[in-house]
């Protein structure tokens, strides 16, 4: 490269340097006089090149630095090889800015100093940011140091304590100079140290991002306190672990309060349990005393009574008392979950038909019991004895809810329950409903109805296990119990069970012949007559008075046969027959009498238009009269 080319390259470089605006670039003579001054210098310090050329660069410094000779020191240091510092410089208007100053010496090929090249950069904003960060850190340190409710301190990656706040000193008893530089495992119990818990805590914090646990820790004086501990990893800007932040809170008082609360709860539970046992004892003892009274007095009657019929009635009463005692025992065992469930296929219609006599004996004569069985119901899985006891409980509860006269209706049927998922088909549910016309329940009573031992009866008049047993039996069978009730509007309790398989073939075969309404004011006669008709394959509806029979006829328009006792209080069988013939001319009517049939026809004109059957009658007598064969119903 020739001299002209070098000269032009130097001119281009100088032009580039002169136009740089982010940095103040300037040249000084060996004595410190300004020789060159670029646009960045003018922008940064406010002086134009014309104003500074030939003047000493000390004009760039504040007055106190000039008085102290600092600019001369800068030149002396720079002449030795390089000068660099951050400090205050002065602008033309007298304002100051924080600057980064670098001064390099310029020498000729022989090492003779020719001057200096200076670069200055305004870093005021950067310094302000750094000062703000430092101020924040200082405030945070003051805050952390001032906290006394929490022990807050830092650990090295190895678990060495690097600082210690006032809260740590208050909680753990150590001064800062006693702890800093030692391993934090000193605060753990010997058993925790043996188990390696301190190392586990650090590893968990490093790998999981946090460690949090509660446990015993040791103070300086050797006493223990219950601590809530949090350890967080501290990472640098490169994501490297540089230590841990540890926060410990003394939770001893809270733990003691929780322990005291648990003790209070246990005491309350014991109190409630004793109260429940008292209620249970009162209710069960009352029921069992009544049953024992029946059996005890019955034994005396059997010893002294010679009349065969009276002895038979006494035995029946004792049998009913024994069954009631068995039901009470089953309730207790079911409540205590000591009686295993024996789930089996059960047809509800067949079960209720076989159990109807027991249900009717449980209902006083002033209350009408209406049993309506839906046709062709599928089987369910249930424990049959518990199912019978559950329906009996519901019927007995319904009688207690009716103060004088009323009706209890037991119905069965099939319902479809919509599932929660659209992808699942609706599920068939076999339902049993027990509805009464009694007093009904308040919202509070209804909400507590299935609680064990809860009863609205007077002390000693009930165990409070009735609905609880019903709920438990239904739940164990995979079903549910629903209560609909309001004060003055009666109560309806629905038991729903998942249907299994198709409608029972044995049940279907019991219904094709027809439907019969059996009427008698004597419960035992009514029960046995109903059983005879079931053996013939009829669906049976029972009524214990003429008025109840008319009500059943209004509800069931498809009754094929009316079988009624002729002599009954209130409406006689003949009056019932006339009313039935008028409303249902196609219904076949049979009247039963214990008097000679010829005499009854003479005393009751018009009786000849109805079929008359003398007592005692047999299954074959009824079958012959109806021209029906006897069916064997399993």
Per-residue pLDDT, 326: 64
Per-residue pLDDT, 134: 72
Per-residue pLDDT, 261: 79
Is the pLDDT at 541 greater than 80? The verdict is yes
Is the pLDDT at 485 greater than 70? The verdict is yes
Per-residue pLDDT, 459: 43
Half-sphere exposure of 601 (CA within 13 A, CB side): 10
User: Is residue 264 assigned to a domain?
Assistant: no
> Quick one: which H or E segment has residue 412?
strand 406-417
∠ CA 27-32-35, rounded to 5°: 35
DSSP codes of every residue in 495-512: EEEE-EEEEPHHHHHTSS
Q: Give the domain extent around 83.
A: 3-122
CA distance 633 to 621: 18
- Of residues 154 and 616, the one with the higher pLDDT is 154
DSSP codes of every residue in 17-55: HHH--SSEEEEE-TT-BEEEE-HHHHHHH---HHHHTTS
Residues 446 and 406 in one domain: yes
Per-residue pLDDT, 337: 45
Per-residue pLDDT, 161: 92
CA distance 2 to 10: 12
Domain end, chosen from 68, 91, 122, is at 122
Band (501; pLDDT cuts 50, 70, 90)? low
Number of neighbouring beta carbons within 10 Å of residue 311: 15
Residues 11 and 111 in one domain: yes
Structure token pair of residue 2: 């020739």
Region 37-61: what's the mean pLDDT?
A: 89
Cα distances (Å, whole numbers) of residue 126 to 60, 99, 122, 135, 621: 20, 10, 9, 14, 117
Is the pLDDT at 281 greater than 70? The verdict is no
Sequence-separated (6 or more) residues with CB below 8 Å from residue 219: 171, 172, 173, 225
Q: What is the CATH number of the domain that holds 411?
A: 3.30.565.10
The tally of domains found in the chain comes to 5
At which residue do the structure tokens 């001054």 appear?
Answer: 37
Distance of CA 232 to the CA centre of its chain: 32
Of 120-129, 166-175, 326-335, the least confident: 326-335
Per-residue pLDDT, 64: 92
Per-residue pLDDT, 471: 80
Cα distances (Å, whole numbers) of residue 568 to 185, 543, 571: 95, 12, 7
Residues 18 and 67 in one domain: yes
Per-residue pLDDT, 341: 57
Band (69; pLDDT cuts 50, 70, 90)? very high
Residue 61 φ/ψ, nearest 5 degrees: -100, 155
Domain end, chosen from 506, 526, 547, is at 506
Do residues 37 and 21 make contact, with C-beta atoms less than 8 angstroms apart? no
Least Cα distance to 477 among 377, 393, 394, 387 occurs for 387
Per-residue pLDDT, 597: 66
Q: What is the CATH number of the domain that holds 617?
A: 3.40.50.2300
CA distance 325 to 622: 36
Q: Give the best-scoring range by mean pLDDT among 1-5, 442-446, 599-603.
A: 442-446
Tell me the percentage of the chain whose pLDDT exceeds 90.
Answer: 30
User: Is residue 303 assigned to a domain?
Assistant: yes
Distance of CA 375 to the CA centre of its chain: 39
Q: What is the DSSP letter of 214?
A: E
| Bridge partners, residue 380, by sequence | 346
Per-residue pLDDT, 439: 87
Is the pLDDT at 298 greater than 90? The verdict is no
Region 342-358: what's the mean pLDDT?
A: 82
Is the pLDDT at 179 greater than 80? The verdict is yes
Do residues 533 and 563 make contact, with C-beta atoms less than 8 angstroms apart? yes
Structure token pair of residue 329: 């025992």
User: Is residue 256 assigned to a domain?
Assistant: no
CA distance 194 to 204: 17
Between helix 523-535 and helix 348-361 the angle, nearest 10°, is: 160
Per-residue pLDDT, 418: 61
User: Is residue 208 assigned to a domain?
Assistant: yes
Domain end, chosen from 277, 302, 329, is at 329
Band (504; pLDDT cuts 50, 70, 90)? very low
Is the pLDDT at 482 greater than 80? The verdict is yes
Region 406-413: what's the mean pLDDT?
A: 93
Band (612; pLDDT cuts 50, 70, 90)? confident
632 Ramachandran zone, left/alpha/beta (phi>0; psi -120 to 50): beta
Do residues 562 and 575 make contact, with C-beta atoms less than 8 angstroms apart? no
User: Is residue 336 assigned to a domain?
Assistant: no
At which residue do the structure tokens 């210690």 appear?
Answer: 164
Q: What is the DSSP letter of 240?
A: -
Per-residue pLDDT, 332: 57
CA distance 36 to 29: 10
Structure token pair of residue 117: 């090249």
Is the pLDDT at 15 greater than 70? The verdict is no
Per-residue pLDDT, 339: 47
CA distance 459 to 621: 52
Per-residue pLDDT, 472: 76
Structure token pair of residue 615: 């007592």
User: Is residue 73 assigned to a domain?
Assistant: yes
CA distance 312 to 306: 11
Based on its alpha-carbon atoms, the radius of gyration of the chain, rounded to whole angstroms, reads 52
Is the pLDDT at 384 greater than 70? The verdict is yes
Per-residue pLDDT, 3: 55
Region 265-280: what's the mean pLDDT?
A: 56
Residues 497 and 349 in one domain: yes
DSSP codes of every residue in 242-255: EEEEEEEEE-HHHH
User: Is residue 9 assigned to a domain?
Assistant: yes
Residues 483 and 349 in one domain: yes
Do residues 348 and 377 make contact, with C-beta atoms less than 8 angstroms apart? yes
* H helix count then E strand count, the chain: 22, 22
Coil, helix or strand for 220? Answer: coil
Residues 491 and 530 in one domain: no
Do residues 617 and 523 make contact, with C-beta atoms less than 8 angstroms apart? no
Band (150; pLDDT cuts 50, 70, 90)? confident
Do residues 54 and 33 make contact, with C-beta atoms less than 8 angstroms apart? yes
DSSP codes of every residue in 268-307: HHHHHHHHHHHHHHHHHHHHHHHHHHHHHHHHHHHHH---
CA distance 185 to 163: 15
Least Cα distance to 567 among 616, 634, 520 occurs for 520
Q: What is the CATH number of the domain that holds 118?
A: 3.30.450.20
Residues 492 and 373 in one domain: yes
Coil, helix or strand for 380? Answer: strand
Residues 93 and 113 in one domain: yes
Per-residue pLDDT, 446: 77
Residues 352 and 324 in one domain: no
Distance, first Cα to last Cα, the chain: 125
- Of residues 528 and 86, the one with the higher pLDDT is 86
Residues 442 and 542 in one domain: no
Of 118-122, 196-200, 477-481, the least confident: 477-481
Averaged pLDDT of the chain: 80
pLDDT per residue as tens digits for the range 221-266: 999 999 999 999 998 888 889 999 899 999 888 888 888 878 777 6
Per-residue pLDDT, 458: 46
User: Is residue 634 assigned to a domain?
Assistant: no
Residues 318 and 353 in one domain: no
Residues 517 and 495 in one domain: no
Band (435; pLDDT cuts 50, 70, 90)? very high
């Amino acid at each position: 490269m020739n001299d002209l080319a070098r000269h032009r390259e130097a001119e281009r470089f100088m032009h580039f340097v002169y136009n740089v605006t982010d940095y103040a670039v300037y040249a000084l003579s060996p004595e410190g006089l300004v020789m060159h001054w670029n646009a960045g210098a003018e922008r940064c310090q406010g002086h134009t090149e014309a104003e500074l050329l030939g003047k000493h660069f000390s004009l760039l410094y504040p007055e106190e630095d000039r008085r102290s000779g600092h600019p001369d020191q800068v030149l002396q240091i720079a002449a030795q090889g390089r000068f660099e510092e951050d400090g205050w410089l002065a602008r033309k208007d007298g304002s100051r800015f924080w600057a980064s100053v670098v001064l390099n010496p310029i020498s000729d090929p022989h090492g003779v100093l020719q001057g200096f090249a200076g670069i200055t950069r305004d870093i005021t904003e950067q310094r302000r940011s750094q000062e703000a960060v430092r101020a924040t850190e200082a405030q945070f340190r003051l805050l952390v140091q001032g906290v006394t409710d929490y022990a807050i301190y830092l650990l090295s990656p190895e678990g060495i304590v690097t600082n210690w706040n006032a809260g740590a000193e208050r909680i753990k008893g150590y001064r800062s100079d006693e702890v800093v530089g030692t391993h934090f495992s000193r605060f753990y119990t010997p058993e925790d140290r043996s188990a390696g818990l301190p190392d586990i805590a650090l590893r968990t914090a490093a790998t999981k991002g946090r460690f949090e646990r509660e446990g015993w820790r040791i103070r300086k004086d050797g006493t223990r306190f219950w601590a809530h501990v949090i350890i967080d990893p501290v990472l640098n800007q490169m994501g490297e672990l540089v230590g841990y932040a540890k926060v410990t809170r003394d939770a001893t008082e809270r733990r003691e309060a929780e322990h005291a609360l648990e003790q209070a709860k246990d005491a309350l539970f014991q109190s409630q349990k004793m109260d429940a046992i008292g209620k249970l004892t009162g209710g069960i003892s009352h029921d069992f005393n009544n049953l024992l009274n029946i059996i005890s007095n019955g034994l005396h009657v059997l010893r002294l009574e010679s009349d065969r019929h009276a002895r038979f009635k006494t035995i029946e009463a004792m049998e009913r008392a024994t069954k009631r005692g068995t039901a009470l025992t089953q309730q207790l065992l079911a409540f205590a979950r000591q009686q295993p469930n024996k789930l089996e296929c059960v047809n509800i219609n067949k079960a209720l038909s076989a159990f109807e006599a027991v249900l009717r004996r449980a209902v006083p004569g002033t209350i009408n019991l209406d049993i309506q069985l839906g046709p062709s119901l599928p089987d369910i899985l249930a424990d049959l004895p518990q199912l019978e006891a559950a329906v009996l409980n519901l019927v007995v509860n319904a009688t207690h809810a009716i103060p004088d006269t009323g009706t209890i209706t037991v119905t069965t049927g099939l319902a479809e329950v919509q599932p929660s998922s659209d992808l699942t088909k609706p599920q068939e549910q076999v339902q049993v409903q027990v509805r009464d016309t009694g007093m009904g329940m308040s919202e509070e009573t209804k909400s507590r109805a299935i609680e064990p031992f809860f009863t609205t009866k007077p002390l000693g008049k009930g165990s409070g296990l009735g609905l609880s047993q019903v709920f438990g039996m239904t739940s164990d069978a995979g079903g549910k119990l629903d209560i609909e009730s309001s004060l003055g509007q009666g109560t309806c309790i629905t038991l729903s069970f998942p249907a299994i398989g198709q409608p029972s073939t044995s049940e279907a075969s019991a219904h094709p012949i027809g439907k019969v309404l059996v009427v008698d004011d004597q419960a035992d006669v009514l029960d046995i007559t109903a059983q005879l008709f079931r053996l013939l394959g009829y669906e049976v509806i029972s009524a214990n008075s003429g008025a109840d029979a008319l009500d059943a006829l209004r509800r069931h328009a498809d009754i094929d046969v009316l079988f009624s006792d002729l002599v009954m209080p209130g409406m006689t069988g003949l009056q019932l027959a006339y009313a039935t013939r008028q409303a249902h001319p196609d219904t076949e009517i049979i009247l039963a009498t214990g008097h000679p049939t010829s005499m009854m026809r003479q005393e009751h004109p018009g009786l000849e238009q109805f079929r008359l059957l003398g007592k005692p009658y047999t299954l074959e007598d009824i079958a012959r009269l109806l021209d029906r064969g006897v069916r064997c119903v399993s």
